[in-house]
Amino acid sequence: MRLATKVVGISRRRCVLLILWGEFFARVRWITLFMEKTMIEGFHGRLMLDLDGTVLADNEVALLQNPHVGGVILFSRNVVSRQQVASLVAQIRAVAPHLLIAVDQEGGRVQRFKEGFTSLPPMQLLGDAYLADPLAGLALSRNTGWLMAAEVIACGVDISFAPVLDVDRETSSIIGNRAFADDPDVVVAVSRAFIEGMNEAGMAATGKHFPGHGGIFADSHLEAPVDYRNWDALWQRDIVPFVALSGLLGGIMPAHITFPDVDPKSVGFSPFWLQRILREKLGFQGVIFSDDLAMKGADVAGGYERKAQLALEAGCDMILVCNDRSGALTVLQYMAEQAVSQSDKIGAMLKGSAVTWSDLEADPRRIATTEQLKPLMTLK
């Protein structure tokens, strides 16, 4: 009887040990899966920054591997040719495979990738094409969105910060023909088709510049614009595209503009705009990207530490610091000191396609769309 009891006791202890070991290995496996998810599926650092040249510099490797860096944006200075862009992206992926890689490839005067890429018209011409022939115009907008996204993805880049959802034609010095139209309903119709085309290529769309940069002349790159229109004026015009399309957008970028009749804080630093309006009233669930914190329009918030703090507290998931390496380093130091958490939203913006240039070059849709765009390019 004692022997049987002892055997039972040993068996129980073994069972307990087995259970504990099982829980231990399950925990290790969970941590491993969590780390993989962190690196691959969307837990990202919350700073997007830029690079100096056309190849990845030695001193930029450690920078990109900083846990608070979650993305890289490419500019014209980073581009020589299509092949070189692909090589640069491969260099980035080799040292930091989880990063979100972005570019501004709107079309018209904002097209960073040129050599070897299709020349894209300013979006205003797509709006005009829609007004001339709605069905044909929507098809062209959809195909243009697909073409832009497919060419960008074929180089390994995840997103273009597009489309511009501002309502404008001639009012803003910085928007103008970057906008589809000065009629919000036209903006909604044509940009919806453009976004659907982007999605078909495997790219998430980012609408900008919430709640609208088209109602004031000032350029937020060079100064801090103040728009004195009231809530009703904005709601009935500028915000219309964001309301209509928020469910289709993976990301939204707020404007560096203050609307003092609505809220005293500049939009990108305003919990009212980003939380109460964008998240709660519009129900937007995607990524909020700050516009570049190096812009003059962002200086209303103070120095880089203060700008980063206010943008993150207001609700930005990822903040951009471009063309100012010192500023980016200051923000990284702030993030480290404050132990800023990573975001679980940003991974949703990673490209959803592995299309190659050899695929695209023979694609009938690309060939046809390129031909359809040629007449518009003579008008831009």
For 146-172, how does the pLDDT look when each residue is reduced to its tens digit (9 = 90+)?
Answer: 999 999 999 999 999 999 999 999 999
268, 152: one domain? yes
Cα–Cα dist 141/163, whole Å: 11
10 and 119 housed in the same domain: no
Q: Are residues 27 and 124 in the same domain?
A: no
Same domain, 192 and 285: yes
Asked if 291 is an active-site residue, the reply is: yes
The residue-averaged pLDDT of 228-248 equals 98
Co-location of 299 and 276 in the same domain: yes
Are 221 and 213 in contact, with CB atoms under 8 Å apart? no
**CA of 197: how far to CAs of 145, 155, 201, 217, 365, in Å?**
5, 18, 7, 31, 11
Instruction: Look up the CATH number of the domain holding residue 181.
Output: 3.20.20.300
Active-site residue (options: 104, 168, 291, 317): 291
Mean pLDDT of the chain: 90
So what's the pLDDT on residue 377?
81
How far CA 233 is from CA of 11, 167, 244, in Å, comes to: 76, 12, 17
pTM of the model: 0.88
Predicted pLDDT of residue 38 = 42
147 and 22 assigned to the same domain: no
Predicted confidence at residue 167, as pLDDT, reads 97
Please check whether residues 21 and 130 belong to one and the same domain: no
Q: Average of pLDDT values for 188-214?
A: 97
- Owning domain of residue 6: 1-40
| Domain identity same for 159 and 78 | yes
Query: Is 219 in the same domain as 267?
Result: yes
Domain count along the chain: 2
Q: Same domain, yes or no, for 200 and 237?
A: yes
- The catalytically annotated residue of 221, 263, 299, 344 is 221
Task: Please report, for residues 160, 318, 322, the alpha-carbon distance to residue 75 in angstroms, rounded to integers and kept in the order given.
Answer: 11, 18, 9
- The residue ranking higher by pLDDT, 39 or 378, is 378
Residues 60 and 31 in one domain: no
pLDDT class for 20, splitting at 50, 70, 90? very low
More confident: 74 or 8: 74
pLDDT tens column, 26-51: 333 323 333 343 444 558 999 999 99
What pLDDT sits at residue 380? 64
Residue 294, amino acid: A
Least Cα distance to 130 among 171, 215, 188 occurs for 188
For residues 236 and 297, state if they share a domain: yes
Q: Render pLDDT for 298-344 as a digit per residue (tens, 0 to 9).
A: 999 999 999 999 999 999 999 999 999 999 999 999 999 999 999 99
